Structures are given as C-alpha cells and as structure tokens.
Amino acid sequence: IMSKGTVVLAYSGGLDTSCILVWLKEQGYDVIAFLANIGQDEDFEAARKKAESLGAKKVFIEDLRSEFVEDFIWPSVQANAVYEDRYLLGTAVARPCIARQQVEIARKEGANFVSHGATGKVKKTRNFTCSLKNIYIFLIPEFYNRFRGRTDLMEYAQKHGIPVPVTPKAPWSMDANLMHISYESGILENPKVRQVLNVFVGSPCLSLSGKHGVGRIDIVENRFIGMKSRGIYETPGGTILLKAHLDIETFTMDKEVRRIKQGLGIKFSELIYNGFWYSPECEFVQHCINKSQENVEGKVQLSVFKGQVYILGRESSKSLYNEELVSMDVQGDYDPCDASGFIRINAVRLREHHRLQGFSSTKQ
C-alpha cells in the first residue's frame, strides 16, 4: 500500500499518543515519533523502545530544557503571566516550545504532516498550528467516532498490545515539565470531587517549596472555546519566581509604566493559554514587556512555609526607593506645602460629583 506521507507525531508515550501512533500506521502514514525532554521525570529510552515497537519509522528525543527556560519560562516570569489570576501556565507555555522543535524536525525530515494528541475540546489545540499540514486526530470523524473517550482508547490499546500507564487506580491525566505538573480528566472532571491525597506525586521541580505545598491549586478555568474545565496544578518554583519578580519589579519600575505593563501581562497570559505564542500581537506584547524590564534587577529574600511565600527584604542598584524622601523622620527634598495645591485640584472633581448627587437628592 502506498504511503499517504510522513507525519511527525508529538509523542509522550502515554495512552493517547500511543494509540494515535498505531492508528496513523493503520491509516497508511509513516510515523516519526518526537519526544521533547522539557524536564519531566521520564524514562526516555523506554519511551523510544515503545515507539519503535509500535511501528515508528524514526524516533527523535530532543533535550529542550535550556531553551524552554530561556525562551519560554523566563519571558512568562517577566510578564508575571498568570491566567485568570491563578494558573501559572506551566503546561500552556511548554506547547510552543515543543511545537517549534516538532516543525523543525518535520522540515529536516521532509515530512508532509505534523500531529499531536490534543482533543478538539482542550486549550492547547492551537499551539500546534504551523505552515505544515496538521492532522488534528481528535477532529477526524473516523477517529472521534471510534474513540469516544479514554475507555475506548484503553480497549484499543489492549487489543493492539499497547502498554499504557493509565489504570483504574489512577484515572486521571498528568502532564509534567521542569516548571510544573498538572492533573486533569477522569474522576477530576467532577468539580466537587475532593482531590485524593496521592494526586500530588510531586513535580519535577520539587524543592523545599514543593515540600511545603507552595504553588498547589485546584481550579475551574475557562477554555478558549467557551467551556469550563477543572485543573489541579503544582508550580512550586514558578510561584516563588513570580512572588520575587513582582516584588523587585515594584521596587525598580516607574508607577505608570508598571500599570500599563500589568495590562500587557494579562493579555500575554491569554495569548499563551489560547495558543497564540507565534502571532504578531504576542510578538508586540513581548517587545513592550521586554522594554519594561530594562531596570528590573536585584535580590529578594524570602521564606516558604505551609503553602505560602513570604517576602523578607529586597535590594537593587536600580531601585526607585528613596529612603530619605519617604522617611517620616527626615524632611528631605520635599515641601509639605506642595500637597495643599494637589489636594485642592483633586477636590474639584469630588465636589462636582457630590454637588450633582445633592442636586439629584433635592429633586427626589
């Protein structure tokens, strides 16, 4: 049978991508499996052998840890990127890193297609969009009509001798990297089900902060396509970096610049979550954020205890903090009489507001 072409599959070795690899082979594609090392605790050689045993034409295992930190995690920290006030985007920020290398492999190997295990419902679908033809497995009727859920996938795996880590004892999906680990689906899809104690197996970035439960959240979030989903996340190192960066940023950044930058950080978070890292608007936002960070440097002292991060002190050669100016014991270069004019000017607006309120009350 003539091959339909070569597809580079973003492969994890889990249930979904293992079944997808075999299914693509059934459909007549040559499959190149690509595993990205972004710091997850994984036996990559075992994953390689598994992909080869399932029929992968080639297997690429790429160490992306350095570029993941430098090109993706660090810009997110600089932006104070937090989606919907709580989620530090540990999974979402890894997708464009993986996709970039996947496309590079496809080009070098002359592949016609790329593919992945993202469903039509999840938030990460658009992260893999590129100039190559994309086989959205979970958007193909022949696939999603055959596999309506993880139960069907597990049955398919058993039928084709595909070993998978998912068992009834751990019925949820996990996604880990050096920044965080996430848990979703399975029994966790019921938002009132309390997280079981052994869900938190510990993220690859566990340190002293992880032992204290720093960066653990259980949330319901809004996906790009309009539905809500529940996610449980551990981001200990990222949480500490966020707290420290917020503190030194306030210490060194102009008030009005920071106010504008806060809005850009929110926009950047939405772009990451929705999969628009490689977009002109995201490039523009990153450029502005980079400009705001030129003087953001220094040291922050902190401690962690029982899920909390406490800032103890900070110092910076670029500090805008003027101890003499702010002191209550030293006059400094500040004339208190200047405040009287400032107060009167601001009072104009307030007087007019209350005058109108009084007028309205009189009429009633």
What residues contact residue 216 under an 8 Å CB cut-off, 6+ apart? Answer: 200, 232, 233, 234, 307
Mean pLDDT lowest among 50-54, 119-123, 286-290, 327-331: 119-123
CATH 3.40.50.620 in the chain, residue ranges: 5-64+90-159
As a whole-number percent, the residues of the chain with pLDDT over 70 amount to 85
Residue 351: both structure tokens together: 């007087």
- Examine the pLDDT at 125 and tell me if it is beyond 50: no
pLDDT of 219 strictly over 80: yes
The enclosing H or E element of 361 equals: helix 338-363
**129, pLDDT greater than 60:** no
Domain 5-64+90-159 has CATH 3.40.50.970: no
User: How do residues 260-279 score in pLDDT, each as one tens digit?
Assistant: 999 999 999 999 999 999 99
| Stated pTM of the model | 0.85
80-90, pLDDT tens digit by residue? 999 999 999 99
In tens, the pLDDT along 10-38 reads 998 888 899 999 999 999 999 999 999 99
Rounded distance between C-alpha atoms, residue 51 and residue 53, angstroms: 5
How many other CB atoms are found less than 10 A from the CB of residue 253? 19
| pLDDT beyond 90 at 7 | yes
| Res. 218 pLDDT band, cuts 50 70 90 | very high
State the pLDDT at residue 123.
47
